[in-house]
C-alpha cells in the first residue's frame, strides 16, 4: 500500500523559535508513518528532504500541512495556506505581531474579511492615529483568513478548539496536544548541575525561562517572588531566582534590581539549548505566567513538567486547562497568590512532592508518541474526506 504523501510547510532547525524546535522533533517521527517532505525557504535539519515553497506542486501530495505561529519564520506558511489550502496547525490562534509588523497588507485583508471593508478602514485609521483600543490593536482577530479557508485545523488545547469551532462553524478542528519537545534524557543530577552552573547548592530555586517580557508578566512574577522571600525565610528556607532567556522589551537585570533581588537572582540571558535544559533541571519550581494570550500552547511549560518541576501559571483561557499546575488569576490578588504559592512549595516538602508528581503525569499526556497518533488520525481523516463516495 502506498504511503500517504504529506508536505509540511514549517520552519525548523537550525532556527530556534518555538515552532521550529517543535517541528524539528515532530517531523522525523511523523516520517515513520507517512511519505513526508518538509517545505521551507531554508533547508531544515531534520533528516529528510526540504523543498522551497515555489517547488511544491500540490497535486503531488495527498495532504498539505501549514504550521502557523506569531513569528516571522512562519510567514511563508501563512501565505502557503492562503494560496494552497489544506490543514493548518495553529500553534497560536492569533498572529497580530507577524501580520501587523511584517505583512500589514495581509493584516488589512484579514480585517476586511472579518469586519467588512468600511469597518476595517475605520479601524486601521484609528490605529494610525493612535486612537485604537488595546482590544482593537492586539486581540481583535481571533481567526485569520488562512484558518477560515482551511479544510481542517489542528490545535493544542480544548480552549483553542472551542474558539475555532465558534468562529468558523463547519471547520473540522482537531485537538492534538503539543509534545514536550527535545528535552535531553541525560541531563544528570540536579546537585551536580548546580555545581557546574554555579548556582547556590542549598537554595530553593524559582525559574523563569524563555522569551521574557510582554504578556509573560515578568514584573508580576518578580513581585510575587520578592514577597515570598521573607515568608520562606521565616520557615528557615532561602529562595533564589534563576532567569534564563532573552528579555523582550525589557532589561532583565534592571527589572531584577528594581525589585531588590539582585543579591539572590541569577540572570543568564539567552543560552544554547543544552544549557537551557540544564538550568531547568536544576531549579525547584517553574513560573510561567501568560496574560493576555494568543491562544498559544507553552512548550517550555510542558518541558518543565517533563522534568518533574511544579508549575505556576495563569488561570486564563487555555492555561486554565492545566490542572496539574498551580493556576493564579490575573486579578488584583495575583501577586499575593504568587507569593503564597512559591512560599508553600518552598516550605512544604509534601506539597512540592505532590506537585512534582502531577507535572510528570501531565507531561506523559503530551508525549511525542501521542502527538504523532493525533497527526496520523488527522491526515487519514483528511484523505478519507476527499475520496469519492
Q: Are 205 and 239 in contact (CB under 8 A)?
A: yes
Q: Is the domain of 201 the same as that of 80?
A: no
More confident residue, 124 or 41: 41
Comparing 43-57, 88-102, 275-289, 299-313, which segment has the lowest mean pLDDT? 88-102
Same domain, 81 and 223: no
Query: Is omega for the bond preceding 14 within 30 degrees of 0, making it cis?
Result: yes
Which of helix, strand or coil describes residue 385?
helix
pLDDT band at 142 (very low <50, low <70, confident <90, very high): low
Please state, in angstroms and rounded to a whole number, the distance separating the CA atoms of residues 108 and 128. Answer: 13
Residue 75 sits in a domain of what CATH number?
3.40.50.2000
Question: Which pLDDT score is estimated for 101?
Answer: 87
Question: Would you say residue 342 has pLDDT above 80?
Answer: yes
Between 135 and 26, where is the model more confident?
26
Q: Assign residue 217 a region: left if phi > 0, alpha if psi is -120 to 50, beta otherwise? A: left
Alpha-helix runs per DSSP H in the chain: 18-30, 75-84, 96-97, 104-115, 117-128, 134, 145-148, 158-167, 190-197, 218-234, 252-258, 273-282, 299-306, 334-347, 349-364, 368-386
- Residue range 4-62, pLDDT digits in tens: 999 999 999 998 888 999 999 999 999 999 999 999 999 999 999 999 999 999 999 99
Grid cell 532567556 — which residue? 245
- 326-328 and 87-90 as β-strands: parallel, antiparallel, unpaired? unpaired
User: Quick one: pLDDT at residue 282?
Assistant: 97
| C-alpha to C-alpha distance for 34 and 62, rounded to whole angstroms | 10
pLDDT category of residue 113 using cuts at 50, 70 and 90? confident
Does some domain include residue 158? yes
The predicted structure's pLDDT at residue 138: 64
Which grid coordinates belong to 47? 533528516
Kindly state whether residue 241 falls inside one of the protein's structural domains: yes
Is the separation of the CB atoms in 310 and 359 below 8 Å? Answer: yes
pLDDT for 170-228, tens place per residue?
Answer: 999 999 999 987 898 889 899 999 999 999 999 999 999 988 887 889 999 999 999 99
Let me know if residue 185 belongs to a domain.
no
Confirm whether 120 is domain-assigned: no
Residues spanned by the domain of 64: 5-94+142-179+367-386
The C-alpha cell 510547510 sits at 9
Q: Which residue has the higher pLDDT, 11 or 128?
A: 11
Q: Is residue 40 part of a domain?
A: yes
Number of domains composing the chain: 2
**Using an 8 Å Cβ cutoff, are 296 and 91 in contact?**
yes
Whether 258 has a pLDDT exceeding 80, the answer reads: yes
pLDDT at 139 over 70: no
Check pLDDT > 50 for residue 64.
yes
How would residue 1 be classed by pLDDT, with cut points 50, 70 and 90? Answer: low
Sign of the torsion angle spanned by Cα atoms 197, 203, 204, 207:
negative
Dihedral over alpha carbons 73, 268, 240, 304 (to 10 degrees): 30
What pLDDT does residue 389 have?
A: 41
Q: What is the percent of the chain with per-residue pLDDT over 90, rounded to a whole number?
A: 72
Give me the mean pLDDT over the 273-288 stretch: 96
Say if residue 56 is in the same domain as residue 159: yes
Domain annotation covers residue 121? no
The answer to whether residue 87 scores a pLDDT higher than 70 is yes
Are 378 and 340 in a shared domain?
no
Closest residue by Cα to residue 30 from 89, 95, 94: 89
For the ranges 80-94, 174-188, 278-292, 339-353, the lowest mean pLDDT is seen at 174-188
The x, y and z cell numbers of residue 148, run together, are 477560515
Shared domain for 292 and 346, answered yes or no, is yes
**Closest among 357, 180, 220, 197 to 283, alpha carbons compared:** 197
Are 229 and 274 in a shared domain? Answer: yes
Residue 199 shares a structural domain with residue 330: yes
For residue 59, what is the DSSP state?
G
Say yes or no: 257 and 371 in one domain: no
Q: Which of 285, 278, 282 is nearest to 305 (CA)?
A: 285
Q: What is the pLDDT of residue 388?
A: 46
Q: How confident is the model at residue 97 (pLDDT cuts 50, 70, 90)?
A: confident
Dist CA 305 CA 61 (whole Å): 37
Sequential DSSP letters for 302-371: HHHHHTT--EEEE-SGGGGG-TTSEEE-SSTTHHHHHHHHHHHHHH-HHHHHHHHHHHHHHHHTT-HHHH
pLDDT of residue 157: 93
Amino acid at each position: 500500500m502506498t504511503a500517504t504523501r504529506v508536505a509540511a510547510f514549517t520552519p525548523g532547525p537550525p532556527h530556534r523559535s518555538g515552532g521550529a524546535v517543535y517541528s524539528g522533533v515532530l517531523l522525523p517521527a511523523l516520517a515513520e508513518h507517512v511519505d513526508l517532505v518538509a517545505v521551507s525557504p531554508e533547508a531544515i535539519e531534520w533528516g529528510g528532504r526540504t523543498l522551497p515553497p515555489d517547488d511544491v506542486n500540490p497535486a503531488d501530495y495527498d495532504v498539505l500541512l501549514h504550521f502557523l505561529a506569531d513569528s516571522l519564520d512562519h510567514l511563508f506558511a501563512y501565505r502557503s495556506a492562503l494560496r494552497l489550502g489544506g490543514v493548518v496547525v495553529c500553534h497560536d490562534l492569533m498572529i497580530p505581531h507577524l501580520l501587523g509588523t511584517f505583512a500589514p497588507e495581509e493584516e488589512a485583508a484579514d480585517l476586511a474579511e472579518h469586519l467588512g471593508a468600511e469597518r476595517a478602514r475605520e479601524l486601521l485609521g484609528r490605529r494610525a492615529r493612535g486612537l485604537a483600543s488595546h482590544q482593537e490593536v492586539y486581540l481583535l482577530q481571533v481567526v485569520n483568513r488562512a484558518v477560515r479557508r482551511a479544510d481542517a485545523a489542528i490545535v493544542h488545547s480544548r480552549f483553542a478548539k472551542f474558539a475555532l469551532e465558534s468562529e468558523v462553524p463547519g471547520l473540522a478542528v482537531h485537538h492534538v496536544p503539543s509534545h514536550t519537545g527535545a528535552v535531553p534524557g541525560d541531563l544528570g543530577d540536579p546537585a551536580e548541575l548546580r555545581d557546574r552552573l554555579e548556582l547556590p547548592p542549598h537554595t530553593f530555586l524559582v525559574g523563569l525561562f524563555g522569551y521574557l517580557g510582554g504578556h509573560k508578566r515578568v514584573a508580576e512574577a518578580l513581585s510575587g517572588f520578592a514577597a515570598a522571600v521573607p515568608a520562606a525565610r521565616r520557615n528557615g528556607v532561602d529562595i533564589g531566582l534563576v532567569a534564563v532567556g532573552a528579555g523582550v522589551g525589557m532589561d532583565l537585570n534592571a527589572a531584577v534590581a528594581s525589585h531588590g533581588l539582585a543579591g539572590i537572582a541569577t540572570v543568564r540571558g539567552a543560552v544554547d539549548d543544552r544549557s537551557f535544559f540544564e538550568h531547568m533541571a536544576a531549579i525547584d519550581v517553574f513560573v510561567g505566567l501568560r496574560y493576555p494570550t494568543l491562544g498559544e500552547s507553552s512548550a517550555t511549560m510542558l518541558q518543565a513538567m517533563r522534568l518533574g518541576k511544579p508549575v505556576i501559571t495563569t488561570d486564563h483561557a487555555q492555561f486554565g486547562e492545566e490542572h496539574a499546575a498551580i493556576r493564579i488569576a490575573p486579578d488584583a490578588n495575583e501577586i499575593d497568590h504568587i507569593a503564597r504559592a512559591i512560599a508553600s512549595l518552598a516550605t512544604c516538602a509534601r506539597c512540592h512532592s505532590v506537585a512534582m508528581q502531577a507535572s510528570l503525569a501531565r507531561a506523559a499526556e503530551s508525549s511525542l508518541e501521542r502527538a504523532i497518533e493525533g497527526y496520523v488520525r488527522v491526515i487519514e481523516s483528511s484523505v478519507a474526506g476527499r475520496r469519492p463516495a
